[in-house]
Amino acid sequence: ERLRISGWIALARRIFRASEGGFILLATVIGIGAGLLASMLGALARLAQTILYGLRSADRLSGLGSIEPLRLMALPAGGLALGLLFYTLRSRRRSAIDVVEANALHGGRIPVRDSLSVTLQTLLSNGCGASVGLEAGYAQAGGGIASWLGQQLRLRRNDLRVLVGAGAGAAIAAAFGAPLAGAF
């Protein structure tokens, strides 16, 4: 079974390396996955805010006129959860590698743990009501998926960098409903 999977990976690698059309197809698949993931992250943050702050369908947390005082406990509870998450995920002394740093310094290589860490921290912060956007989480998740798949396919350094940019751009584009802006 393992040999069969290895054979498929080798075939896919040859296709994506030899053909620009194949590479564009790979980037498209990554873009679709990153876009779906960004939509899911946005929905999860919205769900958390709805549960914690009692939002109605048309409400935005930043637009509420008032919040029940007890519901404001979600902010320090979220901060405590974020601190515990950070402490739990921190096993080494370096900070997580983000998408820009990965492309600039590491040839597009982003450890899965770093992608999960940044994405979860951003989602938790936003979901609990902190005034941070989800853009870092979107870009990290999209770039992280691209990096992981590119590393599995053992793509060349430049191809991996392009793929990571495509994944991050697709996630941001999906989050804001701006596909052309994400492409640029």
| pLDDT at residue 93 in the model | 62
pLDDT in tens, 26-71: 888 999 999 999 999 999 988 888 888 887 766 676 666 667 778 7
| pLDDT at residue 144 in the model | 94
Residue 19 confidence class, pLDDT cut points 50, 70, 90: confident
| pLDDT at residue 105 in the model | 86
| pLDDT at residue 182 in the model | 58
pLDDT above 70 covers a percentage of the chain that reads 86
Residue 97 confidence class, pLDDT cut points 50, 70, 90: confident
CB of 163 closer than 8 Å to CB of 29: no
pTM, entire model: 0.81
pLDDT in tens, 114-145: 888 889 888 988 888 877 788 889 999 999 99
User: Cβ contacts of residue 26 below 8 Å, gap of 6+?
Assistant: 16, 149, 153, 163
What is the spatial distance between Cα 134 and Cα 112, in angstroms, rounded to a whole number? Answer: 18
What does DSSP assign to residue 94?
S
**Mean of pLDDT over the chain:** 83
pLDDT of residue 184 exceeding 80, the answer is no
What is the spatial distance between Cα 138 and Cα 130, in angstroms, rounded to a whole number? Answer: 16
Residue with tokens 């946005």: 42
User: Cβ contacts of residue 124 below 8 Å, gap of 6+?
Assistant: 78, 81, 82, 85
Between 22-31, 81-90, 161-170, the lowest mean confidence (pLDDT) is in: 81-90
